[in-house]
Structure 1
Amino acid sequence: MSTQPPPSHGLRRPAPPGARLSVRSKIIASLTALILPLAALVGLATPAQAATSATATYAKASDWGNGFEGKWSIKNTGTTAISAWTVEWDFPAGTRVTSAWDADVTNVGNRWTAKSKSWAGALAPGATVTFGFNGTGTGAPSNCKLNGGSCDGGTVPGDDPPSAPGTPTSSNVTETGVTLAWTAATDDKGVKNYDVYRDGTKVHTTTGLTFADTGLTKATDYSYTVQARDTADQLGPLSAAHQVRTSGTVNPGSKIKMGYFTQWGVYGRNFHIKNLDTSGTAAKITHINYAFGNVQGGKCTIGDSYADYEKAYTADQSVDGVADTWDQPLRGNFNQLRELKKKYPHIKVLFSFGGWTWSGGFTQAMANPTAFAESCYQLVEDPRWADVFDGIDLDWEYPNACGLTCDSSGPAAIKNMMQAFRAKFGPNNLLTAAITADASNGGKIDKADYAGAAQYIDWYNVMTYDFFGAWAAKGPTAPHSPLTAYPGIPQDGFNSAAAINKLKAGGIPASKLLLGVGFYGRGWTGVTQDTPGGTATGPATGTYEPGFEDYKVLKNTCPATGTIGGTAYAKCGSNWWSYDTPSTLTSKMSWVKSQNLGGTFAWDFSGDTTNGELITAINNGLQP
């Protein structure tokens, strides 16, 4: 691999100025809206127990056609103080809360729950407190409850909601199904039926105490809860959750189809997790590497907290179509990944650390591999997002060699690192690494014991791209991701086949090697020669950096004019670019299968077209 950085595999883009102020601005705007005159105050009276002498009334403060502002007022009508309050109501399908203030608002299906903030729960006799929210849809609330009682303060015998059903148990677990059972809920007027939720989504309603779920994915984790409904159509609390993992393992013959999602893509690129859904990509991949976490002070650290878990997503940007609230426990890319996994439960997500820019910290961290692994485990398994990640990817560029910085930890450093991480992360978490593709004599592959480390990992992401680029400003022009050598290639050992063959010859199983492909091109300007090997005057102009451009742009601005070494090149005016196309990726996937490799991965998703041309070619090419 070239000694010049692959800027794409570690590019850092900071949050735009003022990004962290946007949330507060929205809050202030929402609070200001509360001074609008109240309209159509409606007291919602539904049957409920007389547990509290209090009332809750609803008003629509404003309506702007495609959305509205709602407001609840809670009044203590009794003679004793109230320490906390909870308001529950139903919205019809299509009406939702998108943001809220002065209360914690959540939902299960169409049932919404607002709980008092610590500073707003106490109500003296006669006191009133309010909270508000923005919403979409035209429906009005119904079936209102205040602390389990009627929102109008009335009492009707037999109004108690049902209790929670017993925690579900599982049996007959197969690769694609499971049978669930639970003990009955109780209710003073009788239980009508039960709703069964899988990973928070209602999948079945039954009058019985069992449910056989089918159509699941093998070797996949699912979470089930059950909720009772009484004859007055009141919903009780959810049961405790029960975790089920379907049987089976991933077919060894199936291929991994993975790609990197870069946290900084949410800024200038305006590329979000939702794009993986709308482009059709999510249905065609098996794994996502989330890039990057940093390595600092001997530990794994968060790379960009704003993009990772603070950024508030609007409904139109969100995978589930629901806007983040300003005070929800997890936002940003992490929450969007969670939502994507709910929709596509076959996808596994790995948290990737390092990259070109942040590899310098590995040397210090490897002074104590055990402590390093412990720090990374604690970060990946942070309770706020532990369910999001299925493992860790270590992107050290490069152990015992030079990248942006140079390391002299010795050949055994990579093996020692992987051994420590496997010991800490255990057998059920994925452990992978992105590694060099420099197969030249005495090159980077020869510098580290990748074969010795292979026993501890699930697979290697071999970075078989960026072999050549405009960091050699005068040329010669050459494809950055050649599959094979060709006459006149600028350097021996700088091609994908050479790298894969060298790693296999060193004793690494082919099934633990993934071929890397780029969803971008590298290019020069001042070029007169159509075919590779020409001279240049410098890097071609790119949208984000000189000499670099996404495939989705190049396919239109500089269409391919030829192929060499298994990849495409293009000459347009005085510019010369090289990049993979659906056609060359189809050929590369055939090669992956012929070599019995584990699959392929892409850097990075944002370079593909809005309809996922490149991912589609990969998916189709890796079919049995």
Structure 2
Amino acid sequence: MRRTALARTAVALSSLALLATLSPAAASAGGRPPAHGSGHTKPELRRVGYFTQWGVYGRDFQVKDMDTSGQAARLTHINYAFGNISPEGTCFTGNVPGEADAWADYVRPLGAADSVDGVADTADQPLAGNFNQLRELKAEHPGLKVMISLGGWSWSTHFSDAVRTPESRRALVSSCIDLYLRGDLPRDGARGGPGAAAGVFDGIDIDWEWPGSAGDSDTVYRPEDKRNFTALVREFRVQLDALAAEQRGRHGQRRHYELSAFVPTAPAKIDAGFEVRRIMRDFDFVNLQGYDFHVSGEPVTAQQSALRARGDFSVQQTVRDWKRRGAPARKLVVGMPFYGQGWTGVQGGGDGMGQPASGPAPATFANGYEDYKALRRLAASDAYTVHRDRRGGHAWIFDGTTLWTYDDPAVLRAKAAYVRSEGLGGAMFWSLDGDTADGELTAAVDRGLRRR
């Protein structure tokens, strides 16, 4: 899922392409987990949660909610979704409907009630909006890293054009580093200016969906995307390391800017777009698509995020396919959904799985797509029955007509145990705003990953 929640789901319904999503949270019981990096003898498993730029509107999910829910204390990384690339091949921002939202990013003033530090924004401060709140959140949680995610399903349009030559790749990477890591934001009244967002972001997450194969309807792709993606990753690594060296020389502090990507589950898409052994040398980690294996636009109900599934897409299959192509297990982070895919008009009775349906199920923001917090309420009602495939590692609810397939705490605990048993790099979630107010799903994953 990458652009706006509504747009992504619309694409899922119109095409049966495999998409992507996920996030983490915290629990109200048992106290907060240890601070990041506090005494672990082994490297801490990553917990990467996507925060959606547009979630501050209809869902009213603010940066502060990651703190009050306990999510922030249980995350190692926040991926901010998304940054866009212009037709000219550079990272950009502004107030362009459907293309960029500087108002949400760094212009919008927040009152004391919505601010992480409890202090209202002023009219003359150069940084406000989500970016300023992320800066405040990091001050509350030392060690928490924030990555800017570039692209997504809707905003991968110009990647292919932007990376065709060494000169264009250098220009693209330089523009992204200037905008997000140096923090040189365009001026918007009192907001923005050189260095206004410096220190907010700790790295780059490449969400190109998909190099070398079809994505959104207007996304350009070419066979040469595969080698150009490798070259893009190398260019990011070189320029990120150069920035770190420059800043170390100036301030005497050693810093490492992280580089990650969101990558697909389908073997055909992996082979079309990714020289796995080569790119993994430059990535700190990659986030594996662990959901949207089947979507509500399909005519038959099916699992969307099974841990194991014979002859079908699954988390286990995705992990094996990336490892077979040369990806180190410790750099593979498993995507987990904080939402469900749903069908209505399901025929055939039984538990509803694998049956024909008339279409996507009605939902809060977009038919066929519903946040976990809403599905949790349905599962607790008398109308629905919870079903589990314990061998396959997935769950669904069915009322005789409407079926929703989703991950609940029990499923996520099993996935966390799988991550540990396979020596993988951690878990990623799309997206944090789908969790409950007390971060139930994030807490379940966090506890599962901390078991030794």
- Corresponding position of 1:341: 138
Alignment of 1:32-43 (within 5 A): none
Question: Does residue 562 of structure 1 match 2:352?
Answer: no
Distance 1:9 1:568 in 2: 24
Aligned counterparts of 2:91 and 2:444: Cα–Cα separation in 1: 35
Equivalence map 1:602-621=2 (5 Å): 602-621=429-448
In 2 relative to 1, CA 267–217 (structure 1 residues): closer, same or farther, beyond 3 Å?
A: closer
Q: Is this contact kept in 2: 1:438–1:493, CA < 8 A?
A: no
Query: Which residue of the other structure, out of 269, 288, 293, is the alignment partner of 1:467?
Result: 293
Aligned residue type for 1:316: A
Label 1:609 to 1:456 Cα distance change in 2 as closer, same or farther (>3 A).
same
Aligned length: 378
Structure 2 distance, partners of 1:412, 1:601, is 26
Pick from 196, 200, 205 the counterpart of residue 393 of structure 1. Answer: 205
1:493 offset after TM fit, Å?
4.8
Residues 217-239 of structure 1: CA deviation (Å, up to 9, x unaligned): 659xxxxxxxxxxxxxxxxxxxx
Judge conservation of contact 2:37–2:44 (CA < 8 Å) in 1: no
Report percent identity of matched pairs. 42
Shift in CA distance, 493/535, structure 1 to aligned 2, threshold 3 Å: closer
Distance 1:437 1:304 in 2: 30
Q: 1:288 aligns with which of 78, 98, 108?
A: 78
User: Is residue 309 of structure 1 aligned with residue 106 of structure 2?
Assistant: yes
8 Å contact 1:400–1:413 — kept in the other structure?
A: no
After TM superposition, the score normalised by the length of structure 1 is: 0.59
Contact 1:13 1:264 in 2 (8 A): no
2:177 is the alignment partner of 1:377: yes
Structure-2 residue corresponding to 1:75: none
The change in CA–CA distance for 1:304 and 1:450 in structure 2 (over 3 A counts) is farther
1: CA distance, partners of 2:160 / 2:330: 29
Structure 1, unmatched stretches of 5+, are 1-7, 15-214, 220-247, 487-491
Q: Is this contact kept in 1: 2:67–2:137, CA < 8 A?
A: yes
- 1:411 is aligned, of 220, 226, 240, to 226
Deviations 1:40-62 (A, max 9, x none): xxxxxxxxxxxxxxxxxxxxxxx
Pairwise CA RMSD of aligned residues?
A: 1.9
TM-score using structure 2 length:
0.80
2:160 and 2:225 in contact (8 A); partners too: no
Instruction: Pick closer, same or farther for the CA change 1:218–1:576 going to 2, 3 Å.
Output: closer
Alignment partner for residue 321 of structure 1, among 106, 115, 118? 118
Contact 1:516 1:600 survives alignment (8 Å): yes
Moved more, 398-407 or 311-320: 398-407
Counterpart-to-counterpart distance in 1, 2:419 and 2:74: 17
Q: CA deviation at 1:580?
A: 0.2
Counterpart pick for 1:521 among 317, 340, 348? 340
SS of 1:412's partner is helix
Q: Tell me whether 1:550 sits opposite 2:365 in the alignment.
A: no
Partner in structure 2 of residue 502 of structure 1: 321
Higher strand share: 1
Following superposition, the deviation at residue 532 of structure 1 comes to 1.5
Given the superposition, is the C-alpha separation of residues 315 and 345 from structure 1 closer, same or farther in structure 2, using an over 3 Å criterion? Answer: same
Question: CA 1:420/1:251 → structure 2, altered by over 3 Å: closer, same or farther?
Answer: farther
4+ residue runs of structure 1 moved beyond 4 angstroms? Answer: 215-219
Q: Does residue 1:445 correspond to 2:309, yes or no?
A: no
For structure 2, which runs of at least 5 residues remain unmatched after alignment? 8-33, 94-99, 184-194, 245-255
Within 5 A, what are the aligned runs for 1:80-119? none
Higher RCO (CA < 8 A, seq sep 6+): 2
2: distance between equivalents of 1:597 and 1:313?
39
What SS is found at the alignment partner of 1:485? coil
Instruction: Assess if the C-alpha contact under 8 Å between 1:517 and 1:601 holds in 2.
Output: yes
- Inter-partner Cα distance in structure 2 for 1:393 and 1:216: 24
* Higher Rg of the two aligned structures: 1
User: What are the Cα deviations for residues 391-418 of structure 1, in whole angstroms up to 9, with x where unaligned?
Assistant: 0101000011111034113421221110
Higher helix share: 2
Q: Which residue of 1 aligns with 2:61?
A: 271
CA distance in 1 between counterparts of 2:35 and 2:325 reads 39
Matched, 1:300 2:100: no
Amino acid corresponding to residue 74 of structure 2 in structure 1:
K
SS at match of 2:226: coil
CA contact (8 A) 2:63 2:116 kept: yes
Q: Is the 8 A contact 2:85 2:91 kept in 1?
A: yes
2:148 and 2:205 in contact (8 A); partners too: yes
Task: Give yes or no for contact 1:12–1:357 (8 Å, CA) kept in 2.
Answer: no
CA contact (8 A) 1:522 1:549 kept: yes
Q: Which of 559-568 and 495-504 deviates more?
A: 559-568
Partner residue, 1:432: 260
Question: Counterpart of 1:541?
Answer: 362
**1:315 Cα deviation (Å)?**
0.6
1:464 to partner: Cα distance: 1.2
* Distance change (3 Å), C-alpha of 1:437 and 1:217: closer
